Amino acid sequence: MPELSRRRALTAAAALAAAAGATTVTAAGSASAVTTAGPAAAGAHDHGLPEPFDEVYKGRRIQGRAAAGGGHHHGGGHGDGYAVFVDGVELHVMRNADGTWISVVSHYAPVADPRAAARAAVDELQGARLVPFPAN
């Protein structure tokens, strides 16, 4: 039996991945079934913004809305054009590739949407004031 080289292993892996992708598309049956897989499957390329919100959570006012100018960073920002505020101070949020959201306050705990990120930040702050985070 010939020795397995890195090139042969990579070629075999690519062929298997291509075959698996073709099987998945064929199993889905139609393009509409593939495109309605949900927000997690769409990932960061789904630019549909979450619904705006404005509420009081644990005595703190949290707000979320489309950001004017596409976000606070050059070229759209990490929040995909969405801004979140706690008591009027911007809470920097970022959408992950899998569709979850994180904030500068609760960076290691992904949540489903910006409202949940604002609530998690309020929980983490435990009554402390959110200090403005300087953007680059």
Q: List, for residues 71-123, the tens digit of each pLDDT value.
A: 444 444 455 689 999 999 999 999 999 999 999 998 899 999 999 999 999 99
For 26-84, write each residue's pLDDT tens digit: 444 444 433 333 344 334 444 588 999 999 999 999 999 998 765 444 444 455 689 99
Give the pLDDT score at 107.
Answer: 87
Q: Is the pLDDT of residue 13 over 60?
A: yes
Contact 117, 91 (CB under 8 A): yes
Q: Is the pLDDT of residue 19 over 70?
A: no
Give the pLDDT score at 79.
Answer: 54
Of residues 131, 124, 117, the one with CA closest to residue 87:
131
Tokens 């950001």 identify what position?
Answer: 67
For residues 2-10, average pLDDT: 67
Q: What tokens were used for 109? A: 């705990």
Give the pLDDT score at 85.
Answer: 97
3-state secondary structure of 2: coil
Distance (Å, whole) CA 111 – CA 98: 11
What is the DSSP code (8-state) at residue 48? P
Instruction: Report CA 5 to chain centroid distance, whole Å.
Output: 38
Give the pLDDT score at 134.
Answer: 75
pLDDT: which is higher, 3 or 130: 130
Tokens 């892996």 identify what position?
Answer: 13
Of residues 31, 63, 47, the one with CA closest to residue 130:
63
Residues in CB range of 51: below 8 A, 6 or more apart: none
Give the pLDDT score at 48.
Answer: 80
pTM of the model: 0.59
Contact 80, 43 (CB under 8 A): no
